[in-house]
Amino acid sequence: MQTVFQDAASARAGAWLGVSLRAIAENYDLVAALGAGAECAAVVKADAYGLGADRVASVLAARGVGTFFVAHLDEGIALRATLPEVRIFVLHGFMPGCEGSMQAHGLIPVLNDLEQIQSWQRFCRERGCAFPAALQFDTGMSRFGLSNQDLQERSVFEGLNLQLVMSHLACADTPDNPANAMQRKHFVEMAACFPGVPRSLAASSGIFLGPDYHFELIRPGAALYGIAPFEGSRALKPVVSLDARIVQIRTVQAGDRVGYGLGWTATKPTRIATLGLGYADGFFRAQAGQGAVWYGQTRLPVIGRVSMDSISVDLTDAPAGLKAGDVLSVLGPAQDVDALARSAGTIGYEVLTALGSRFHRDYVSDD
């Protein structure tokens, strides 16, 4: 395969991560259309699931997305530097004493417990201004948010400048799970304590449960990045490609062993390739014996253990002419993020957020 390099850095790289900003934008449009009637925010926590929050959020904001979610205060501060105008919600709220940073950067905390609410109330009183905030309810996941009990003392909430009330579904990726309707019912009841405040329940999978789950604002993350909302669904455009070059090829003989622990033994003369990506790059050790990379439509199994910086693959089914410097596909048409995740016993979310920083990154806006 002849490869054309865009620049010297690209030519030096052992692996290239391609991120299609256009596919992200198209996935946004698709999800926003499903949720027509609700505002469609974008979740860009964890560096936009490993793909680059700066780049991703800039493209979405240029398309008119006005509301973003991050998990941590520092993520919000970084995003604010890129996007001075948009609304940014910080899902974890703030650590004690950090109200000032939240407000100074124009960020909106998601208040998850009574202590956070009291701190924010005190901060607002001292400054003489009701700065915006959101509330999260725990509707069954027991992770973040106020309990039913917490809502009993209504005076706690007086004077809050509420932009949003929200909760999160635990089982939205299994549409038939009765927990979804149960959580929705709790959410409606709890939100009724705050009439007129916009409501948000659905992340990516929840959006696909239908309009009953959309309320006034939807919050997709994974779907924007091409992760399927539930097992087997194919609605979204693939966003990432990962191609790795062959560093070295050798032929081993029957009885020769490969990798740490000498964990794989050749049963016949076998051509193997060493590729320069490993668990430090997010190619999980759990892929050993399960994973594969691809040459076009040909599956090339990963053999032996995954090293920090390299993997070995069996070239038996590959064309004889392959040589060092040639390119194999780790993520691409033959193997999407969800498929790679399955072979490591995990989910696409973990594959994306684990992608290392050593790949050469190509952002494509017009493929």
Candidate residues 221, 276, 278, 291; the one interacting with ligand PLP per rule CB under 6 A: 221
**For ligand PLP, how many residues bind (rule: CB under 6 A)?**
12
Please identify, using beta-carbon distances, which residue of 67 and 241 lies nearer to ligand PLP: 67
Footprint of ligand PLP on 29-48 (CB under 6 A): 43, 45
Closest contact distance (angstroms) between CB of 277 and ligand PLP is 24
The answer on whether 299 is annotated among ligand-binding residues is: no
Structure tokens belonging to residue 316: 């038996």
> Which range of residues in 2-10, 219-227, 259-267, 285-293 is near ligand PLP by CB under 6 A?
219-227
CB contact set of 72 (below 8 Å; sequence gap of 6+): 45, 90, 92
Of 92 and 305, the one with the shorter C-beta distance to ligand PLP is 92
State the distance between the two ends of the chain, measured CA to CA, in whole angstroms. Answer: 20
Q: Of 222, 328, 344, 352, which one interacts with ligand PLP (CB under 6 A)? A: 222
Q: Which of residues 58-97 bind ligand PLP (CB under 6 A)?
A: 91
The half-sphere exposure of 337 on its side-chain side, counting CA atoms within 13 A, is 32
> Distance between CA 307 and CA 313 in Å, rounded?
12
168 binding ligand PLP? (CB under 6 A): yes
Which of the 8 DSSP states describes residue 293?
A: E
Give residue for tokens 């100074």: 104
> Catalytic site residues?
45, 260
Q: Is residue 109 part of the contact set for ligand PLP (CB under 6 A)?
A: no
Q: Which stretch binds ligand PLP (CB under 6 A): 56-64, 94-102, 200-208, 290-298?
A: 200-208
76 SS3 class: helix
277 is a site residue for ligand PLP (CB under 6 A) = no
Residue 56, CA distances (Å) to 65, 212, 241 in order: 11, 29, 16
Cβ-based burial of 22 (10 A; exposed 0-12, middle 13-18, buried ≥19): middle
Query: Which residues contribute to the annotated binding site for substrate?
Result: 143, 308
Which residue ranges make up the site for ligand PLP (CB under 6 A)?
43, 45, 91, 168, 203-205, 219-223
